[in-house]
Structure 1
Amino acid sequence: MRLSQYLARLFVALLAITIIPTQAQQAGLSEQQLRQLMQMAEYIGVDYPEAVADGEIINTDEYAEMEEFAQLLIDRGQQLADSAEAVTIRAEARALQEAIQRKAAIAEVQVHTAKLRQGLLSIAPALSLPTTLLDLNESRALYQAQCIACHGVEGKGDGPLAAQLEPAPTDFHERERAENRSLLGLYDAISNGIDGTAMTAFKNLNEQQRWSLAFFVGSLAFTGESADAAEPKLSLQDLVMYSPQVLRSDRPDFSPSQ
């Protein structure tokens, strides 16, 4: 089963789950701070190609943002309560900063951002998902009401305000970005906004609406694909928390792009 079809099925019936924390009370940072760090790491992994190509800076503003976020990951990592997970997170944050400074290839950067997210997820407080999502038509209507000014009618980042914005709004159909973006990251961006961009927090939407938007825009890059004979063995927890690229690395049977 393709990722788009798996998402569509979840639009119809989504079971509630709780992600069990390993150190929810001992992390040393608040839940919001941990989620912001996850979002920063994922943002670097998705947007790094806009800053660096072939070992050269191609956008100084984007590169400065990569450096800023990498330093914040290091600084916040020092505030984590001492644990084996914290040691790993700090090491990956330093390795990520060093890779950015070397203008390393995107593949190397994404290894560090993925490991950072996994480490942060392992110590994050429990996350409860909604018992249901809006159906696909309601989710599409919500997108049209809330998002088209920047992201465009079809989600291609070409809304009427897009030309005025730097960085440009996300094109949700861009496959490489979608492969390295998690549904949790989308949900957090919708809920909290993204510092340094025009993406603001949608506090006017309830939790179900925000999750529905995350699933809707997260599926756009994978629409129109036919079914596989073999269905990927994914839990809802995996699908929400990890990007397709990470799932492909960890789960050989998961391959949304084949």
Structure 2
Amino acid sequence: MMQKTVHSFLICFAIFATAFWVFQDNQAIPGERSHQTIAPQRDTDRLVFLLQYIGQDYGAAVGENGVINQYEYAEMLEFSQQAMDWYTALRSDQMVDSTFSNLQALRNLIKTKASWAKVQSLTRVLIRDLASELDIRTSPEETPSLAKGKSLYRNNCAVCHGLEGNGNGSAAEGLEPAPNSFLEPDYMNEATPYRFYNAIRIGIAGTAMPAYGHAFTNQQSWDVAFYLMTFRQGFSQQATNEDYNLTLNDLATKSNLQLVQEIVDPPGRRDNRKFQATLATIDYLRQHLE
């Protein structure tokens, strides 16, 4: 028992030490729990990750009747301002007017407590435009290997996130915030491999999640990112003979909900049986990438 306790402590210490080393420059990344003025991060991937975070997590801050979590809302306001500051620092005198205008529009949407759908839609436009403007690669160069992703996950991530992705690994006890669970359907259906890829490479400050950009190759990060998508409760596979003409970039950058909405006709009107069947097809395509 004592050996197990010491082992868990050493693992946690190593994780926190790594996280401290990676983020000692005090650059605020989504998840940091301190509202302070921070120097711009000259890193295009971090700017995109910030927008990904806003797009997926805004729903935890604002609901149909206004602010539902004041802390989360303050974080959204802070991060939307940081996105503008970081873009200005990155582009200086080469800013694209439409991109900066959209960043301003995003901040205004958040200040006026606009709907999650509007905020999410604009973050997606910004991420797409920034990828083109800053020449950011948003999908893997090679087809991800789920087998390799599983092995990397078990050897590096399961100690906190658990072998089944439920967030209760042997080193998870006492961590605050707790490690993410990848089982929750609503969260996972809004997630994308591209967001997981950035989280893996960059880490999440204010948590025990370190950056693996120095330990994994880009391809290995993609392997793990695609593997994480298979943890969702209800993940199933339904083979299809239909050609949905989905590219690897589509599967990397679009959430399950986005892909289903693009396939299901008419979009915006959910036939639950058709939705679940189409989701199972997306699961199949994510599992059979070759």
TM-score of the pair, normalised by structure 2? 0.66
Q: Secondary structure of the residue that 2:96 maps to in structure 1?
A: helix
Matches for 1:197-236 after TM superposition, within 5 Å: 197-202=207-212, 203-221=214-232, 223-236=235-248
Residue 279 of structure 2 corresponds to residue 257 of structure 1? yes
Relative to structure 1, the CA distance from residue 249 to residue 134 in structure 2 (aligned partners, 3 Å threshold; closer, same or farther) is closer
Instruction: Indicate the residue corresponding to 1:89 in structure 2.
Output: 99
Contact 2:66 2:113 in 1 (8 A): yes
Q: Please report the RMSD computed on the Cα atoms of aligned residues, expressed in angstroms.
A: 3.2
Give percent identity, aligned residues only.
33
Matches for 1:1-258 after TM superposition, within 5 Å: 33-79=43-89, 80=91, 86-125=96-135, 127=137, 129-131=140-142, 133-136=144-147, 138-162=148-172, 164-202=174-212, 203-221=214-232, 223-248=235-260, 256-257=278-279
Higher relative contact order (CA 8 A, sep 6+): 1
Distance of 2:259 and 2:93 partners within structure 1? 28
Shift of 1:109: 1.5
- Map Cα deviations across residues 206-243 of structure 1 (whole Å, 9 max, x no partner): 33322210110023337213223423211222322333
Q: Structure 2: any 5+ residue segments left out of the alignment? A: 1-40, 268-274, 281-290
Distance of 1:165 and 1:67 partners within structure 2? 26
Shift of 1:124: 2.5
Shift of 1:68: 1.9
Distance of 2:99 and 2:262 partners within structure 1? 19
Task: Pick which of 51-60 and 177-186 moved more.
Answer: 51-60
Contact 2:146 2:226 in 1 (8 A): no
Distance of 2:105 and 2:182 partners within structure 1? 29
Relative to structure 1, the CA distance from residue 197 to residue 187 in structure 2 (aligned partners, 3 Å threshold; closer, same or farther) is same
Task: Pick which of 113-122 and 98-107 moved more.
Answer: 98-107
Instruction: Indicate the residue corresponding to 1:9 in structure 2.
Output: none
Shift of 1:167: 4.1
Shift of 1:163: 5.6
- In the alignment of these two chains, the number of paired residues is 227
Contact 2:106 2:123 in 1 (8 A): yes
Shift of 1:250: 5.5
Distance of 2:188 and 2:71 partners within structure 1? 22
Residue type at the aligned position of 1:219: T
Instruction: Indicate the residue corresponding to 2:30 in structure 1.
Output: none
Relative to structure 1, the CA distance from residue 162 to residue 251 in structure 2 (aligned partners, 3 Å threshold; closer, same or farther) is same
- Greater Rg, structure 1 or structure 2? 2
Residue type at the aligned position of 1:205: F
Contact 2:203 2:210 in 1 (8 A): yes
Q: Secondary structure of the residue that 1:158 maps to in structure 2?
A: coil
